[in-house]
Amino acid sequence: MRDISVLEISGGRAPAHVAIIMDGNGRWAKRKGLPRIMGHRAGAERLREIVEASVRNGIEYLTVFAFSTENWRRSKSEVEGLMNLFRIYSRSEANSLNSNGIRVRFIGDRSELEPRVYEAMAKLESATENNSKLCLTVAINYGGRDDIARAAKRLARAAADGEIDPDLVNEGYFAAMFDTGFLPDPDLVVRTSGEMRISNFLIWQSAYAEFAFVDTLWPDFTAERFETVLESYSRRDRRFGAAAS
C-alpha cells in the first residue's frame, strides 16, 4: 500500500521547491561523545529519509546545503572526512536513486574540489539525468555571494565578447547565470538546529521564500518533523508583495 502524506490528509498544498540548511551534525555528535564525522554520517542517513518524504509529499525540487564556501575553515580532518563522505555517497547511492526516479544535480564552485570528488559527482549526475520524480540538488563548496559574483563574471565576459547587449539584462537574465539557473526559486527554506540565519545560502533565490527555523538537530530531523513543517507551510498566505485579500 502506498504511504499517505500528511498533506493528503490535511488537504494542504506542497511547496514545489524546498531548500534545507542541514545544520547540527557536529553538535549531535558532540552530545553523544562521538567524533564530528559520525554526525555527518548520521546526517547523510537522515537525508535519505527526507528525500523519500519529499517524494511522498509531492515536492518536485529538494536542494540541500552540504558544504559552504566558508566550511574550508574547519579542521583538515573534518574537511577530508566530508569530502570522502560525498564521494562514497555519490558512488553508493546511484542504484537507489535511480530506482526511485530521483535526479541529482550539484551546485557550487567545483574548481577547488579534488578530482576524485568532482568525478564521482559528475558520474552520479550522468547516471541519474533521465529521472524526473524529484530533482535533488546538493550544494557543495557553495556560497550565495560567490554564486552571484560568478554569475556577474559570466555576464561581463559575454558583454565584453559582444554576445549580449547589457541594456537587455534584467533579473531573469541574470538569474539564469546562477548555478541554480535550472531551478525555480525555493518556496520554503528550512534550517535545522535552532540557528536563525541563512548563512549565505541561496540569498538571491530565496527573496520571497517562506522560512522555517526548527530547533531539531539535522540527524534527528525525522520525516514526521519534516511533514509538520510542510503542513505549517501549507497554511501560510504567500502574497509576493501584493496586499492581503
Is 131 a catalytic site residue? no
The residue count for the chain: 245
Which single residue is written with the C-alpha cell 549580449? 164
**DSSP codes of every residue in 75-90:** -HHHHHHHHHHHHHHH
Q: Which of 3, 57, 71, 237 is catalytic?
A: 71
Question: What is the rounded CA–CA span in Å between residue 150 and residue 223?
Answer: 35
Given a contact cutoff of 8 angstroms between Cβ atoms, the answer to whether 36 and 110 are in contact is no
Measured at the CA of 144, the angle between CA 149 and CA 185, to 5 degrees, comes to 110
Is 23 a catalytic site residue? yes
Question: What is the rounded CA–CA span in Å between residue 143 and residue 242?
Answer: 30
Which residues participate in catalysis according to the annotation?
A: 23, 71
